[in-house]
Structure 1
Amino acid sequence: MVQLHQKHIPVHIRCQVCAIADESIYHALVGCYFAVQCWKTWDPGIQINEEMEFNVWLEGSLNVKTKKQRAEIVTLCWAIWLARNEVVWNKKAMMVNRVDAGAKEYLTQWNEAQVKSFKVSLQPWADGDGVVSWVKPQQNS
C-alpha cells in the first residue's frame, strides 16, 4: 500500500491485517504481527527488524541458508502474501497454522514435481502430418 501511495494512487496505507503500521513490503511479509507468527513457527531464530527494507532482509536471509531453507523462505513469503490478499480482497482472516501448513504442502508438492519424470505421450511429428511451421516473412511484404 505504501508503494501504491507513493505512485499517487489513492489508497489507505495502513496494514489491513494489523491496522497498526503502514503496509510496506517488509511489513506485509515479515514485520506484521501475523507474518511474525508465521515466521516464528517455521524458524524461531529468524531476524525481524521493522526498520529494514525487504530486499535487504531477503538477501541476508537467503545468503546464510541452505537450498532447502531458501525454498522455504520464498514459499512462506508467498503464502503470507496469499493470506494477506484474502484479508484485503475477501475479508477472510487466516490462521497462522493454516498458512504454514499450506506453504509446507505447496513446497512438498513442488519438490515432488521436480523429481518426477514424465514420458512424452505424443510421437514426434513427421513430414506431411499437418503440422504448420513458422516461416520468416519476406522483406517488404
Structure 2
Amino acid sequence: MSSRSMSMEQTVTPAVPRVTTSVVGGIPRSSEGFDRASAEGEGDGDGVGLRVAPLEASSATAFATMFKALGDPVRLRLLSMIASAPDGEICVCDLSSAFHLTGPTISHHLRILREAGLVDSDRRGTWVYYRAVPATLILLAGLLQTTR
C-alpha cells in the first residue's frame, strides 16, 4: 500500500453512538458509561424516568438515536418481530418475507436498529440472525416511566 493511500484511509465511525448494554447490579450499563442512573440523574432509587432529573446532553443524544430508530413503522415492526421471536432470535430470511421491500432496504432498517443498540446480530453461513438487546429496551422503558 502506498503512503498516499495510507494517508487517505480513515476510520469510519457511525454518526450515531452505538449503545451496547449489560446489566450490572440490576442497572443496565453500557461499555460507554451510559447507564440508567446517569441518564436520569442520581437518585435514591425511588423512581426512574424523565421526571427524576433533566437528561445530560450525551444521554439525550443516545436516547434520541433509539427513539429515532423506532420512529419508522418498518423498524418498529422489525423490532417487534425480533423481540417476540420464539427462540429469542430470528433469521433475516424470515424478516424479509414479511415485507414488500427489497433485501437492501430491510438491511438498511436493521442496520439503523443495530447502530441504535436495539438489536444485535450474528452471521451463520449466508444468513444473519437478529436478537433484541433487553438491557437497551429496559433503558427506554425506564426513561418513559412516569412514577417517582
| Fold in common (TM above 0.5) | no
Higher helix share: 1
Whose Rg is larger?
Answer: 1
TM range (shorter): under 0.3
